[in-house]
Structure 1
Amino acid sequence: MRLIYPACFYPSEDGYTVVFPDLPGCVTEGDTLPEAMDMAIDAASGWLLSEVEENKQLPKATNIKNVIPNEYENGFVSLIGVDLDEYSQKHGNKAVKKTLTIPAWLNTIAEENNVNFSQVLQSALKDQLGI
């Protein structure tokens, strides 16, 4: 799902602050304009994914023509594109089903001991990956 939201960019001595009028509390910063753009994409993606994972309805994007940045901060408006499917694959908490094979004897002992296979696999993967 590709989404586009307007973002207000405010330059400062330290770089840029980015605010999304349609995404309450979604604010980020960058030392340079390209970094601020990258950070804006990441912040909006995370905000939107969180809403989707909580089964909340995503806000409608305001028409860029109707977004007016704070005139006292020399801001400007730009559209930020988000590929929520791609972001979700990398960062989402949605469970993914995996099929695996283990010896029957190991399965029997694990089941007798009420082992949670998903939890064990997640722990082992995190350990293996140093996470």
Structure 2
Amino acid sequence: MSDILLYPITVKRKEEQWFYHSSQFPEIKGSSSDLESLYLTAKEQLEKHLYQLLLNRKRDVPVSWKKEHEKVVIIAISAREILQKYGSTPVKKMVSIPSWLSYQAEKEGLSLSKVLQEALKDKLKRTEE
């Protein structure tokens, strides 16, 4: 079974705005003023949706790709990348900090792992989903 999944997303332009939707997954829809951000947003929505399906060991096959008066954009998704990107499996990383900082953190009862995770999420402006 291939790791790459191809899903069609239907794209339609109305005035200055692009709209997209998935015939297969009605919850995947949205709009954007440009095709690049539309593609990236649709891809992320599809990845998150497929992540839940993959966790439940489901894999939907793409539906019909032909639409009249609309463009079909193909979004390639790697099942392996989805599981790595959205998975919560801990990954060990080595970090170096000054000894005085380590001492103060231990004295305050701070968990280096938890503080690092919170700082990275803050820096990346992301929250757990």
Above 0.5 in TM-score?
Answer: yes
Instruction: Label 1:60 to 1:87 Cα distance change in 2 as closer, same or farther (>3 A).
Output: closer
Q: Determine whether 1:82 maps to 2:77.
A: yes
SS at match of 2:56: coil
Tell me the amino acid that sits aligned with residue 121 of structure 1: L
1:48-87 correspondence runs (5 A): 48-49=50-51, 51=52, 55-63=55-63, 66-69=64-67, 74-86=69-81
The percent identity for this pair of structures is 21
Q: Determine whether 1:92 maps to 2:94.
A: no
Please tell me whether the aligned partners of residues 43 and 75 of structure 2 are also in contact (alpha carbons under 8 angstroms).
Answer: yes
**TM-score, scaled to structure 1:** 0.59
Q: Which structure has the larger Rg over C-alpha atoms? A: 1
How far apart are residue 124 of structure 1 and its match? 4.7
Gaps of 5+ in 1: none
**TM-score, scaled to structure 2:** 0.60
Please tell me whether the aligned partners of residues 18 and 32 of structure 2 are also in contact (alpha carbons under 8 angstroms).
Answer: yes
1:39-50 correspondence runs (5 A): 39-49=41-51
Instruction: Label 1:130 to 1:34 Cα distance change in 2 as closer, same or farther (>3 A).
Output: closer
